[in-house]
Amino acid sequence: MKETPLSNCERRFLLRAIEEKKRLDGRQTYDYRNIRISFGTDYGCCIVELGKTRVLGQVSCELVSPKLNRATEGILFFNLELSQMAAPAFEPGRQSDLLVKLNRLLERCLRNSKCIDTESLCVVAGEKVWQIRVDLHLLNHDGNIIDAASIAAIVALCHFRRPDVSVQGDEVTLYTPEERDPVPLSIHHMPICVSFAFFQQGTYLLVDPNEREERVMDGLLVIAMNKHREICTIQSSGGIMLLKDQVLRCSKIAGVKVAEITELILKALENDQKVRKEGGKFGFAESIANQRITAFKMEKAPIDTSDVEEKAEEIIAEAEPPSEVVSTPVLWTPGTAQIGEGVENSWGDLEDSEKEDDEGGGDQAIILDSIKMDTGVEVSDIGSQDAPIILSDSEEEEMIILEPDKNPKKIRTQTTSAKQEKAPSKKPVKRRKKKRAAN
Amino acid sequence: MAEPASVAAESLAGSRARAARTVLGQVVLPGEELLLPEQEDAEGPGGAVERPLSLNAGARSRVRVVCGPGLRRCGDRLLVTKCGRLRHKEPGSGSGGGVYWVDSQQKRYVPVKGDHVIGIVTAKSGDIFKVDVGGSEPASLSYLSFEGATKRNRPNVQVGDLIYGQFVVANKDMEPEMVCIDSCGRANGMGVIGQDGLLFKVTLGLIRKLLAPDCEIIQEVGKLYPLEIVFGMNGRIWVKAKTIQQTLILANILEACEHMTSDQRKQIFSRLAES
């Protein structure tokens, strides 16, 4: 499909807004959009979201013979693909210019900067080396593909684990992940690209341009830097004339941004590592939320609660503690008893499960016990007849056991409590809160 | 409220057509068949109903039901073609069984005859303009379809201008054609849209919501600032206020309205009204 043309009024509006230092989404000139990094279940798979731009990165490895002129070095292979779902203008044969430009920039940023130690990828010199392949897919295009792609590439490489190999003389043993834990790649530093868009012949500049802003920009400057403030790659496109101090200023801004992004990446990697070690759930199903068409969805906006008038804590502190009501149980009919104050039983005769023992009084205890023995059988029958009464789907049952002196103790039981219900016990009051269908 | 899992299971299990009445407001999936009210009685409990023989057996009273977007007639039943919630509207007056349609989320526009849309002029060739409306093909707009346009007096339209017009021809077999003039020859608000202002895109469902009669959002927005606003059924909205800041605020509010409950909206409006 052809790209939607940019109308004159949009172009005029955007340029005027930039002159007044206003951006469409309310960001400041040097602000990045929200970056979200989520990992998949496999090592080396991640999705990076820069605002609405999404890139999926996947790293894989293979044992191959090395290049002839580099016999002791591993091979790196980078590939960025613009998927057709990213924008209507992306078609299989169409976006060649943009694609070539992005791929070249990515290669220069990651390969020429020597961020990965290729010597460590060598297994047997001249015969077997590791070939590491990084595949990046653009899932949604909302501007600034190169930044998102470089973050996805470096995060995927840091997250990846290759199988362990040991060499003894002539023997090479490749261990499966079950035999020995996979080993991370040796990464020296993390180069990250930062894009600057220029407008009105270099007068105005914006960091992290949106898709709309990219359409009206005059030129783009991309600086790839790591957190040690080393510039790995710098590229200026669009043919604008930039002054020396403009480029220096941009590199300073890039230094600050790269430091922030690197911190974010390290935190995300650490979190994922922790979750995996503790045995928690990880993967895309956990980190990417479900979207339903029948529900309202809105990103959480930070709310300033400093000028709240009333707080719940004050109200709770001022309120009186609830009164303790302990009274003797009242037996209404065989099988139905009531203790304490409560609303009238609206179930009527159907309710057979609410039966309580007596706290004190031997006579009453014996009567109730015998009734309980009788109704113990009834209840199970009725329980099976009234099968569909399900109060909750939880597998746990909350049992409140009231001891005469102490406070009610809550005990959770996993499976059916049929045994406990039938066993005649002198234990004072047992009240089953939730009924199970299958008794 | 919606249980897509049970719906799918039911439709897979029996592939029995369900009565449209019972499914109102629930999520329906493409391929489901729905029975209209009159047919339910006939199908009845399993179909083994004894009816007395009547001489005029064919003249069953038919109720005229309008089949809206997302539904298609398939024999006597309605076939669902889009996934979403099933809706129904009672007829205001007279006979007829009302309208059934499926509320679905969609961003890609398909030209429909009679729709008013905002288009961007992409080319001028001879007597016609090519206008991009967000569909699969650009629509064609003749220069004579403006109010007061004659062969000598051509309208002042440049490439890249915004046009508000309606479709006179829009079907899947032909290139769509639009005009900026109504059947009486008057512009009626259509034509070239002014120079300033901001154009942005939203989902089609939001546009329908905003264009519904008595939409609160529009009334509240109108109280905030004086503004000009044009809604195109192809998901495009053009907005203009006095300053750039106000225009940006309005654009962001309208985009966010889709996912806000009315309470959240009221909060935001009250906060804006204060500042």
pLDDT per position as a tens digit, A178-219 = 888 899 999 999 999 999 999 988 889 999 999 999 999 999
Which of A9, A297, A307 to substitute to test the interface with B, most B CBs within 10 Å? A9
CATH 2.40.50.100, chain B: domain bounds: 16-38+62-101
CA distance A7 to chain B (A): 4
More confident call, A320 vs B80: B80
Q: Which residues pair with A197 in a beta bridge?
A: A206, A220
Give the separation between CA A10 and CA B199, rounded to whole angstroms. 6
For residues B122-148, average pLDDT? 91
More confident call, B48 vs A183: A183
Where along chain A do its domains lie?
32-287
> Please, which pLDDT band fits residue A324 given cuts at 50, 70 and 90?
low
CATH number for B16-38+62-101 (one of 2.40.50.100, 2.60.120.590, 2.170.150.70, 3.40.50.1980): it is: 2.40.50.100
Using the structure block, give the residue that is written with the tokens 């990880």: A282
How many Cβ atoms from other residues are within 10 Å of residue A128's Cβ?
17
Chain-centre distance for alpha carbon A398: 32
Judge whether residue A408 has pLDDT over 50.
no
Contacts with A2 from chain B: Cβ below 8 Å: 132
CA distance A305 to chain B (A): 14
Q: How far is CA B160 from CA B129, B198, B239, B247, in A?
A: 11, 13, 17, 20
pLDDT in tens, B185-218: 888 889 999 888 999 999 998 998 899 888 888 8
What are the b/e assignments for B193-227, b being 16+ CB within 10 Å?
A: beeebbbbbbebbbbeebeeeeeebbebbeeebee
> Please, which pLDDT band fits residue A346 given cuts at 50, 70 and 90?
low
Contact assessment for residue B161 and residue A10, using Cβ atoms and an 8 Å cutoff: no
Q: Which of A390, A354, A359, A389 is nearest to A372 (CA)?
A: A354
Handedness of CA A119, A122, A127, A130 (dihedral sign): negative
Give the separation between CA B97 and CA B88, rounded to whole angstroms. 10
Judge whether residue A383 has pLDDT over 70.
no
Q: How far is CA A322 from CA A319, A402, A407, in A?
A: 9, 17, 14
- Chain B interface includes A41 (CB < 8 A): no
| CA contacts within 13 A on the Cβ side of B29 | 12
For residues A27-48, average pLDDT? 92
pLDDT in tens, A127-173: 889 999 999 999 999 989 999 999 999 999 999 999 999 888 888 88
DSSP codes of every residue in B20-63: GGGGTTSEE-TT-EEE-HHHHHHHTTTT-------TTTT-PPPP
Measured between CB atoms, which of A20, A293, A296 is closest to B244?
A: A20
* Nearest chain B residue (CA) to A6: B160
> Please, which pLDDT band fits residue B63 given cuts at 50, 70 and 90?
confident
More confident call, A411 vs A53: A53
> Please, which pLDDT band fits residue A379 given cuts at 50, 70 and 90?
very low
Judge whether residue B40 has pLDDT over 60.
no
Q: In this complex, do B85 and A294 lie within 8 Å of one another by their Cβ atoms?
A: yes
For residues A53-74, average pLDDT? 92
Q: What is the dihedral of CA B237, B241, B246, B251, to 10 degrees?
A: 0
Give the separation between CA B107 and CA A140, rounded to whole angstroms. 15
Q: In this complex, do B198 and A13 lie within 8 Å of one another by their Cβ atoms?
A: yes
Judge whether residue B44 has pLDDT over 80.
no
Could you give the percent of chain B with pLDDT greater than 70? Answer: 84
Number of H helices, E strands in chain B: 6, 17
Q: For A226-230, which contacts have Cβ atoms below 8 Å and span 24 or more sequence positions? A: A226/A113, A226/A115, A226/A189, A226/A190, A226/A191, A226/A192, A226/A258, A226/A262, A227/A189, A227/A190, A227/A258, A227/A259, A227/A262, A228/A189, A229/A255, A230/A189
| Predicted local distance difference test score (pLDDT) of residue A47 | 94
CATH 3.30.1370.10, chain B: domain bounds: 196-272
How big is the A-B interface in CB pairs under 8 Å?
68
Q: Which of A267, A45, A283 is nearest to A153 (CA)?
A: A45
- Chain B interface includes A10 (CB < 8 A): yes
| Predicted local distance difference test score (pLDDT) of residue A225 | 94
Q: In this complex, do B196 and A17 lie within 8 Å of one another by their Cβ atoms?
A: no
> Please, which pLDDT band fits residue A294 given cuts at 50, 70 and 90?
low
Q: Which of B27, B206, B195 is nearest to B109 (CA)?
A: B206
Which of B1, B103, B132, B274 to substitute to test the interface with A, most A CBs within 10 Å? B132
Give chain A's mean pLDDT: 78
For residues B170-199, average pLDDT? 90
For residues A255-259, average pLDDT? 94
Chain-centre distance for alpha carbon A331: 54
| Predicted local distance difference test score (pLDDT) of residue A331 | 78
Contact assessment for residue A381 and residue A361, using Cβ atoms and an 8 Å cutoff: no
Which of B122, B244, B245, B258 to substitute to test the interface with A, most A CBs within 10 Å? B244
Q: Which residues pair with A55 in a beta bridge?
A: A48, A138
pLDDT in tens, A95-117: 688 899 999 999 999 998 999 99
What are the b/e assignments for B84-95, b being 16+ CB within 10 Å?
A: bbbebeeeeeee
Give the predicted TM-score (pTM) of the model. Answer: 0.71
CA distance B185 to chain A (A): 27
Q: In this complex, do B252 and A25 lie within 8 Å of one another by their Cβ atoms?
A: yes
Name the fold adopted by B113-190: OB fold (Dihydrolipoamide Acetyltransferase, E2P) (2.40.50)
Judge whether residue B275 has pLDDT over 80.
no
B77 backbone dihedrals φ, ψ, rounded to 5°: -110, 175
> Please, which pLDDT band fits residue A256 given cuts at 50, 70 and 90?
very high
CA distance A389 to chain B (A): 19
Measured between CB atoms, which of A6, A16, A294 is closest to B27?
A: A294
| Predicted local distance difference test score (pLDDT) of residue A8 | 92
How many Cβ atoms from other residues are within 10 Å of residue B159's Cβ?
14
- Chain B interface includes A298 (CB < 8 A): yes
More confident call, A41 vs B58: A41
| Predicted local distance difference test score (pLDDT) of residue A211 | 92
- Chain B interface includes A7 (CB < 8 A): yes
Could you give the percent of chain A with pLDDT greater than 70? Answer: 69
Q: Which of B59, B10, B67 is nearest to B36 (CA)?
A: B67
| Predicted local distance difference test score (pLDDT) of residue A434 | 45
Give the separation between CA A214 and CA A23, rounded to whole angstroms. 12
Q: In this complex, do A7 and B161 lie within 8 Å of one another by their Cβ atoms?
A: yes
More confident call, B228 vs A350: B228
Measured between CB atoms, which of A8, A24, A298 is closest to B260?
A: A298
Does the domain made of A32-287 have the CATH classification 3.30.230.70? Answer: yes
Contacts with A26 from chain B: Cβ below 8 Å: 248, 252
Judge whether residue A367 has pLDDT over 90.
no
> Please, which pLDDT band fits residue A373 given cuts at 50, 70 and 90?
very low
Contacts with B263 from chain A: Cβ below 8 Å: none
Which of A7, A140, A299 to substitute to test the interface with B, most B CBs within 10 Å? A7
Give the separation between CA B248 and CA B237, rounded to whole angstroms. 13
Domain B196-272, second-level architecture = 2-Layer Sandwich (3.30)
